[in-house]
Structure 1
């Protein structure tokens, strides 16, 4: 029996019992136990679950026909047992291949064939590679030794065995990526978006012939090879972080958190932390009047997190304490300030949540956001409950070495020129096991600190994986297009190279918006039926609002007729077109604003000359 971490005992009211193909018949219902069945695809498909499946509270499988990749639906929970055998050597292999001469990269292709050629096109491919690529084809026997020979010295490998390699993702695909080798995938199968960059890290062929593959290699432009190489490194990092911890320990953690979600009474889906500065009275009022009541209607607790107030009787701190008493939704973090950057404040808020919330996820927001809670909560309610880090990720955050810059990071803290992957700070989520693990490790031995708040969370998690080897982490980066990091309405056609994550009909979170814009967006969503209208309140600039307005003129938006909203109980209406609430500047004249070699568009990365 695996040793259980102390905080895992605290999150589960019932004992967690894990069963598999060997002992599943011994499971029997008891009120004090949460029964979890691990049933991978190697044992069969959804039609071959054991007869007493109803005896289990949770069924964990890697069968994507039963439950989609990374998702949780009812008692079904996606979890796979995979190996990332090369470990830290993977990045070195990928960098060596990227640095190789262009001619070598164009010619470096292998073919990995299944042991049994059970279709006509596979039989033809087998005959062709024996003649045309006698030193570059390999017959898969399922061993890492054979796959290492097939991948190690090649830039591309045609994976012709995926139809016979069960599970999602196939182990052969992970082994290929681990070697820094670009997979060539044939046919319409296996087009899953494991990570946002997966589709840019693979070559997709409708059908396969050796002549076609050789032609592709010889004619692939330098731009394409560059994008493949960089995307493979990102996908490498994704799989490495997901499979870093031993599977049996991952299984136990996922089982404990999945069982925690079934407790009665059910814990909140999320606890929401909203970072705010002391004088941002107008922003806090705008959120209280718009999307925060929708959170409350879903049973989601929230708090504004501010720097600590002084014990003297300054007018500002006195007003903040009045505001806290009036609205009862603020936390003052002793020992922190509003000074930018706020990395220290971010850690203090995370530690507070670790000790004060029993929620399943931690959601962190800034106070200059418009959020559509339905969409965000719907996503969290349908995905894995452990080892999850969600948001719009930056994979190329440059490290500042200028000691005069407030974002300066010393080489002894982080020596590389690019930060580890991190979710941008406007809005992010972590499963609560990671929040508590950061707190636990910080209390044991302080983690290294970075001043930049959003980078900090990714850096803390990186240390838990690489330095302390206490967890695995899944970077859930597939919702990036639901973030509007720049509140303008544009397209790549209207604003070439100057339209990054714009406001669209699919937006869930809008960043950098003023209180009046937040109210405008909320009014449009009410008018479209996304929320039901609540009682209209007429406010005047008096009392606490008058005192707030002395520090923040944005409080003016909280006076006049305030339209409240509430959740719809009979389904959700359509999300409104919010473009009328924002001002979209004209396209930037002249050269593109972005620098560097590879630029990131709404459709993915592209090399720009």
Structure 2
């Protein structure tokens, strides 16, 4: 459902992205998110209340297992330290298989939970940047009064308690703030066999600007509208987190190191209850792991 009241730019009619992620430079949609329409958008999030923090999870339409695992774990954390936290899932359109049947499953799931946001771009690896910018547009137009938002991947362990503690600690900016696991001086991969290949024609510089790893990054809500606006002038490429870094650079801004960088972790190795009680993010191997680790962490008794 499209509810923007201002005039939208013309929709660019581009062919669907190629299935092979390494060939996305041949044809692509612009990343400007208002070239797309919301087709599912009936969640109550940000409508009847103003959360302190909104968690937005980009996830494939068919990945119901990941959504259900999050609904059983960190997605249940709605009030933390007196602050309202709300979680939604952002989907594109199915890219293969019986699309009509998949859409019906998505519709029925949303009737049950009312936590799905769906836009009409094709949901694929090559469109991750579009997906991220659609998230920014939804937040900018639906949740402009919240304090913070987080883009958090569907395969992540998230310790919401520690995240809120960080946000309420002294000195955390309320404006122009982006933080997470910072990546400095990261080389652009030119190997065509790599999943993360980006050709010279799409991104000529040898290194990306400083950016926050896409597994989970946090930002003040004021950045969302500026990201949407600046995206009109930045050619998209399929490394979505580096693209956000490009948006920051174009705005004359830089991501901020979190107070404790060790809390934003990619991989920890073997599960340890004490360690997991101190982190904010961690990449998991499966939805089953998320439920298992979360259940253990939340059991009675001190974790350390």
Contact 1:333 1:349 in 2 (8 A): no
Matches within 5 A, 1:148-227: none
Q: 1:417 to 1:518 in 2, by over 3 A?
A: same
Establish whether residue 454 from structure 1 lines up as the match of residue 226 from structure 2: no
Tell me what 1:587 maps to.
none
Q: How many angstroms does 1:283 deviate by?
A: 1.2
Q: 1:504 to 1:329 in 2, by over 3 A?
A: closer
Q: 1:404 to 1:484 in 2, by over 3 A?
A: closer
Q: Matches of 1:512 and 1:398 in 2, distance apart?
A: 25
Q: How many angstroms does 1:267 deviate by?
A: 4.0
Tell me what 2:224 maps to.
435
Q: 1:281 to 1:416 in 2, by over 3 A?
A: same
Q: 1:370 to 1:295 in 2, by over 3 A?
A: farther
Establish whether residue 320 from structure 1 lines up as the match of residue 92 from structure 2: no
Residue deviations 1:380-431 (CA, integer Å, cap 9, x gap): 2331101111101111322022456453334355433221111111110111
Establish whether residue 293 from structure 1 lines up as the match of residue 80 from structure 2: no
Tell me what 1:369 maps to.
156
Establish whether residue 416 from structure 1 lines up as the match of residue 205 from structure 2: yes
Tell me what 2:33 maps to.
none
Establish whether residue 488 from structure 1 lines up as the match of residue 269 from structure 2: yes
Contact 1:309 1:332 in 2 (8 A): no
Contact 1:366 1:426 in 2 (8 A): yes
2:62 to 272, 276, 279: 279
Tell me what 1:510 maps to.
282
Tell me what 1:388 maps to.
177
Matches within 5 A, 1:63-102: none
Q: What is the TM-score with the length of structure 2 in the denominator?
A: 0.73
Ranges in structure 1 where 5+ consecutive residues have no aligned partner:
1-264, 466-471, 491-502, 530-573, 578-609
Q: Which structure exhibits the higher relative contact order, with contacts defined as CA atoms closer than 8 Å and separated by 6 or more residues?
A: 2
RMSD: 2.8
Q: How many angstroms does 1:371 deviate by?
A: 1.2
Q: Matches of 1:450 and 1:395 in 2, distance apart?
A: 18
Q: Matches of 2:53 and 2:183 in 1, distance apart?
A: 23
Q: How many angstroms does 1:439 deviate by?
A: 1.6
Q: What is the TM-score with the length of structure 1 in the denominator?
A: 0.38
Tell me what 1:355 maps to.
141
Q: Matches of 1:452 and 1:511 in 2, distance apart?
A: 18
Q: 1:288 to 1:399 in 2, by over 3 A?
A: same
Contact 1:336 1:344 in 2 (8 A): no
- Other structure's SS at 2:179 match: strand
Q: Matches of 1:474 and 1:405 in 2, distance apart?
A: 26
Ranges in structure 2 where 5+ consecutive residues have no aligned partner:
1-47
Residue deviations 1:74-124 (CA, integer Å, cap 9, x gap): xxxxxxxxxxxxxxxxxxxxxxxxxxxxxxxxxxxxxxxxxxxxxxxxxxx
Number of residues paired by the alignment?
249
**Which protein is bigger by CA-based radius of gyration?**
1
- Other structure's SS at 1:301 match: strand
Q: How many angstroms does 1:303 deviate by?
A: 0.8
Q: How many angstroms does 1:487 deviate by?
A: 4.1
Contact 1:273 1:305 in 2 (8 A): yes
- Other structure's SS at 2:233 match: coil
Residue deviations 1:552-602 (CA, integer Å, cap 9, x gap): xxxxxxxxxxxxxxxxxxxxxx4x36xxxxxxxxxxxxxxxxxxxxxxxxx
